[in-house]
């Protein structure tokens, strides 16, 4: 565990070093200025932060000032929102400074997150016993969490210290002593999605959940969307949120959704096993999501504006050059009417869990928002050969030399997923006309060019099959 002490002299750090002695559980780093502290924080995770706010801007400077300490405190709590901070001072800090520090901490720490750690405490600089007591209090809490075992089974799943601690805090919330995890497909965005089974000392299940690990900002964004939009849906179409956890780093926060024992397959598993059952799931999704899509509004837009809801302009300019897509600018100038509603925004097969009775349940709500209606069914259709969870399993690729994507009957000839694709396409056309659906497909496919593992030749063939659809 890493302890960082920031003070203008080495009085406290020397005494703490003596007390730590040869304890291998703790590493102590002492710095004497704002600059040195920031340099250390930029390369190391810190478990406990001890700060004397009366510090200089850099080592050797004589400009000790409380404002410098407050700025460092702000920097630290924004970089590591739930890492314990012990403020020390040779004299009582002015009330207005204390109020500012506590107010900054409250803004940064997002109290809705699970945390076993006390946020900010204060001690006199000469009260080494008091400082040591607070360190021991934190250390004991951390040891309790570390007793919760994280098992990964036969799969090697690399987990950082912070991610393990997120899982441990969630497990502790439900009285667990053991957490079994499996990696679920996280898609192309970089988020990390896991299934978790939390057990007590006797091996009995306390809770079954799916957890998403991402940056603090991304998790807060997802929670906001869940509370504002997802909860408007029928309760049986989404997994309910049961917890959120945060550790020291802004890069590792988690949000967790409760699952039932029967929610043990993704839609990709169903597609692989039975096209008819997969089609029934799509029909159910289309019906359940009418709470969102029935509130659509028709808006006049250009194809460019549709694409901008999925991919930024600078990447399009790069792709036009790299792949010689000289038709794109003309295509994007076309004006059309587009139905806009709340959508999931990342509705690939791995984000749909399916019970044995073929009831779907949505997870991963970071991209929920107001966008063209047809994005969800198009994402679902194209994920057959764009998503890493399924693209290597697919038994079919379209013959685009002899047909175009817009000619559905020819496109799915000899396809083992015919019913599934027809259901997705029917859903896409439910609110949008031909032009809106073609524009949505174009935007989605352009976005796939940004990901390193997508089949660029196939994506370009699909794009070229669209280029004459809006003439």
| pLDDT the model gives residue 111 | 46
**Is the distance from CB of 303 to CB of 334 less than 8 angstroms?**
yes
- CA-CA distances (angstroms) from residue 360 to 24, 201, 331, 356, 421? 49, 32, 36, 10, 17
Q: Provide the mean pLDDT of the chain.
A: 88
| pLDDT the model gives residue 283 | 97
pLDDT, average across residues 258-283: 92
* 100-114, 211-225, 322-336 — most confident range: 322-336
Which residues lie below 8 Å from residue 339, measured CB to CB, with a gap of 6+? 293, 296, 297, 298, 299, 372, 373, 374, 431, 432, 436
Which residues lie below 8 Å from residue 204, measured CB to CB, with a gap of 6+? none
Query: Nearest 5°: CA angle at 202, between 199 and 204?
Result: 45
| pLDDT the model gives residue 24 | 76
The model's pLDDT over 81-106, given as tens digits with 9 standing for 90+, comes to 767 888 888 776 666 666 666 665 55
Q: How far apart are CA 212 and CA 169, in angstroms?
A: 14
| Residue from 6, 52, 13 nearest 32 by CA | 6
| pLDDT the model gives residue 108 | 46
Burial of 435 (0-12, 13-18, 19+ CB in 10 A): middle
The answer, yes or no, to whether residue 269 has pLDDT greater than 90, is yes
State which H helix or E strand residue 175 sits in: none
The model's pLDDT over 355-392, given as tens digits with 9 standing for 90+, comes to 999 999 999 999 999 999 999 999 999 999 999 888 88
The model's pLDDT over 136-187, given as tens digits with 9 standing for 90+, comes to 888 888 888 889 999 988 777 888 888 898 899 899 989 999 999 988 865 5
The answer, yes or no, to whether residue 113 has pLDDT greater than 90, is no
**Is the distance from CB of 21 to CB of 4 less than 8 angstroms?**
no
Q: How far apart are CA 306 and CA 335, in angstroms?
A: 10
pLDDT, average across residues 57-80: 85
Q: How far apart are CA 80 and CA 72, in angstroms?
A: 12
Kindly report the number of other CB atoms within 10 A of residue 172's CB atom. 20
pLDDT, average across residues 346-359: 93
User: What pLDDT band is residue 31 in, cutting at 50, 70 and 90?
Assistant: very high
**Higher per-residue confidence, 324 vs 432:** 324
Burial of 89 (0-12, 13-18, 19+ CB in 10 A): buried
The answer, yes or no, to whether residue 462 has pLDDT greater than 60, is yes
pLDDT, average across residues 407-422: 95
- Alpha-helix residue ranges (DSSP H) falling in 110-263: 128-146, 161-173, 216-228
Q: How far apart are CA 389 and CA 266, in angstroms?
A: 10
User: What pLDDT band is residue 189 in, cutting at 50, 70 and 90?
Assistant: low
* 42-46, 182-186, 323-327 — most confident range: 323-327
Grouping H, G, I as helix, E, B as strand and the rest as coil, residue 346 is: coil
**Is the distance from CB of 216 to CB of 420 less than 8 angstroms?**
no
User: Phi and psi at residue 414, in whole multiples of 5°?
Assistant: 65, 20
The answer, yes or no, to whether residue 409 has pLDDT greater than 50, is yes
| pLDDT the model gives residue 118 | 54
| pLDDT the model gives residue 142 | 82
**Is the distance from CB of 336 to CB of 301 less than 8 angstroms?**
yes
Grouping H, G, I as helix, E, B as strand and the rest as coil, residue 201 is: coil
pLDDT, average across residues 401-424: 93
Q: The dihedral of CA 258, 263, 265, 271: what is its sign?
A: negative
Grouping H, G, I as helix, E, B as strand and the rest as coil, residue 258 is: strand
* 120-134, 286-300, 399-413 — most confident range: 286-300
Q: What is the pTM of this model?
A: 0.84
% of the chain at pLDDT higher than 70:
91
**Is the distance from CB of 335 to CB of 306 less than 8 angstroms?**
no
The answer, yes or no, to whether residue 403 has pLDDT greater than 60, is yes
User: What pLDDT band is residue 435 in, cutting at 50, 70 and 90?
Assistant: very high
The encoded tokens of residue 112 equal 């809705």
User: Phi and psi at residue 293, in whole multiples of 5°?
Assistant: -75, -25
């Amino acid at each position: 565990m890493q302890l960082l002490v920031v003070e203008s002299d080495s009085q406290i750090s020397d005494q703490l070093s003596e007390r730590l002695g040869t304890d291998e559980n703790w590493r102590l780093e002492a710095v004497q200025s704002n600059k040195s502290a920031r340099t250390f924080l930029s390369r190391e995770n810190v478990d406990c932060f001890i700060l004397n706010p009366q510090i200089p801007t850099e080592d050797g400077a004589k400009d000790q000032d409380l404002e410098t300490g407050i700025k460092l405190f702000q920097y630290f709590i924004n970089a590591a929102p739930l890492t314990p901070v012990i403020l020390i001072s040779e004299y009582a800090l002015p009330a207005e400074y204390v109020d500012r520090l506590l107010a900054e901490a409250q803004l940064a720490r997002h109290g809705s997150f699970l945390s076993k750690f006390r946020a900010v405490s204060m001690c006199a600089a000469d009260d080494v016993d008091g400082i040591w007591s607070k360190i021991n209090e934190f250390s004991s809490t951390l040891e309790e969490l570390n007793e919760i075992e994280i098992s990964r089974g036969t799969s090697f799943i690399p987990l950082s210290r912070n991610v393990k601690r997120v899982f441990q805090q969630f497990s502790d919330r439900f009285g667990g002593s053991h957490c079994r995890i499996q990696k679920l497909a996280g898609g192309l965005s970089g988020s990390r999605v896991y299934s978790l089974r939390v057990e007590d000392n006797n091996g009995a299940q306390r809770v079954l959940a799916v957890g998403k690990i991402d940056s603090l900002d991304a998790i807060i964004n997802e929670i906001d969307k869940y509370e504002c939009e997802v909860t408007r849906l029928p309760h049986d179409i989404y997994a309910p949120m049961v917890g959120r956890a945060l550790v020291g780093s802004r890069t590792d926060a988690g949000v967790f959704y409760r699952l039932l024992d029967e929610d043990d397959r993704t839609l990709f598993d169903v597609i692989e096993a039975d096209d008819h059952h997969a089609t029934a799931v799509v029909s159910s999704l289309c019906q359940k999501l009418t709470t969102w899509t029935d509130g659509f509004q028709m808006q006049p837009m250009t194809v460019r504006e549709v694409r901008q809801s999925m991919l930024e302009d600078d990447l399009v300019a790069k792709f036009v050059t790299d792949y010689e897509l000289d038709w794109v600018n003309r295509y994007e100038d076309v004006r059309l009417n587009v139905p806009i509603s709340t959508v999931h925004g990342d509705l690939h097969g791995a984000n749909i869990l399916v019970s044995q009775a073929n009831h779907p349940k949505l997870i991963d709500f970071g991209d929920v928002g107001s966008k063209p209606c047809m994005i969800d069914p198009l994402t679902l259709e194209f994920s057959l050969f764009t998503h890493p969870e399924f693209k290597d399993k697919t038994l079919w690729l379209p013959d685009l030399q002899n047909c175009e994507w817009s000619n559905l009957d020819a496109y799915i000839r000899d396809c083992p997923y015919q019913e599934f694709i027809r259901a997705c396409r029917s859903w896409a056309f439910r609110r949008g006309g031909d032009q809106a659906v073609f524009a949505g497909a174009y935007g989605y496919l352009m976005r796939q060019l940004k990901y390193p593992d997508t089949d660029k030749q196939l994506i370009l063939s699909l794009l070229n099959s669209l280029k004459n659809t809006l003439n």
